[in-house]
A and B are shown apart, each in its own frame.
Chain A
Amino acid sequence: MRIDPAQVEEVARELYVRALKVLPPDVKEGFARLAAGETDATAKRVLATMITNIRVAEDTGNMLCQDTGIPIYNVVIGRGVQIDGPELKSAIRRGCERATREHPLRSSVVHPITRRNEQTSCGPGIPPIHIDFGEEHDRLVIEMVPKGSGSENNSWLRMAIPAEGVDAIKTFVVDCVLDAGGKTCPPTIVGVGIGGTSDLCVALAKRAATRALGTACPDPEGAALEKSLTEAVNMLGVGPQGLGGDSTSFAVHVEIAATHITMNPVAVNMQCHSARRASAAITPAGVEYGF
């Protein structure tokens, strides 16, 4: 299957706008679950307002949150897909710029030293475009994640050592949730990366934070840790918006990679309650949009 870069550009544009406006069904279900179990009066009101906002965004065709985030594109290229690599990347970038200009969207991206905003949502290295390869034939999947800064500003890496064991990982996650308080716009998805190198560990945490609710870590030890940590962070009483309550996090997600015999790295990256993402699959049958 040969893919026209113009189609990729159009999909990249459309995905940014879609992601900003409609929350994935798993996140909506997450809200319903938290609202049903919440016991704190203020927290109940906060969750109800968040749920109302999801409806208002859909009814008015508006964005869920004013933070258009850092645009991130994750691409999975299936077997038999033919596309010029550099052209794929520049098509995504053009789509991102067009979404910003044509909608219009607030460009939330600046040069890190001059702080100059080009009003394109793009800049050196941004949007990050992550490319991976999949088993499926004739299928190119693009996922778009607008990563809000309230949650992204609360990101941590700790290069623990083997003698500190899994206890270091558990303690670190609990302390990160405490430090974040209301700044990350809870209820959050807490993404935890365990193992790898320092950069891989942080990337795993991001992947965990942006994974669909209801999915589990493929590693059984990681999946067990997800369960116990989800229960634990919701004992802390931080609550929605840090105003107290049971609903601090929808879930703790864990992703793992093997690591060095001398290392025990752990990273935490959070996703806010506006856990936005959208995806599209390009196949010979056309483009199918989803989450």
Chain B
Amino acid sequence: MAHHVLRPPITEAEARLLRVNDTVTLEGTLFGIRDANLIAMFDRGRATKFDWRGQAAIHTAPNVKRVPASPEHPTGYAPVCVGTTTSARMERFTRPLAERGLRIVVGKGGLAQGSLDAFREFGAAYLAIIGGTAALETTWIDAIEDVDLDDLHPESIWKFRVHGFGPLLVAMDSHSASLYDVVQRDSRARRAQTLAKLGVK
């Protein structure tokens, strides 16, 4: 159970070093992706100026406020409250992102087998953040460095600059291990005894 400090872009080898139950702290660049911008890119063919190779992306849409553009706020947006959304809705977009070189997905609630396969094939990992802890997460965000597809606001693609972003738990790795699979198998195995306890015949 190692701890890794990662500063994207990272290499395939670095991504493959991550094993479930390891922890990670991210430094530097973190992209924000979610439903509308993924649908726009992969279902509607919209291009982004961002290069995913070696990068980390979090499933999010932040609360932001408009401020005068400055070196601190180059996009004219300041972060207000940045948290994490449920990853499961983004399941089918993991593969195209991994194909384009994305190495780290940060999210909550986990992804499914299709993503686990993509992580294995391309060398990437899923880091679990604690959902619903956005006030804390926001303290790890320094600035919004850039934004793309902002007509989808707040579901734009965001480029955050972060510090000490974590610790995050490696919950799915490139070696076909998923903590969610383990917990789901275990909890389903307890279904019968739970129903018996309730007196269900």
Contact = CB atoms under 8 A, between A and B. Distances in A.
Interface in B151-166: 153-155
Interface string A264-286: 00000000111000000000000
Secondary structure class of chain A's binding surface, majority of residues:
loop
B130 A50 contact: yes
Given A53-B135, A235-B193, A241 B187 contact: no
A66 B60 contact: yes
B63 A229 contact: no
Interface stretch (A55-63, A72-80, A90-98): A55-63
Contacts of B132: 50, 53, 64-65, 67, 148, 150, 185, 272-274
Contacts of B61: 66, 106, 108
Contacts of B197: 228, 231-232, 235
Nearest to A228: B198
B187 A65 contact: no
A149 interface: yes
B36 interface: yes
Give the bracket for the number of chain A residues in contact with chain B: 35 or more
A167 B139 CA distance: 47
B190 A65 contact: no
Given A104-B65, A115-B36, A57 B198 contact: no
Nearest to B35: A115
B187 to A, nearest CB: 5
A49 interface: yes
Given A53-B135, A53-B136, A229-B198, A242 B110 contact: yes
B80 interface: yes
A105 B26 CA distance: 26
Contacts of A49: 130, 133, 136
A238 interface: yes
Interface in B122-151: 128, 130-136, 138-139
Interface centre among A108, A119, A183, A272 (most CB of B within 10 A): A183
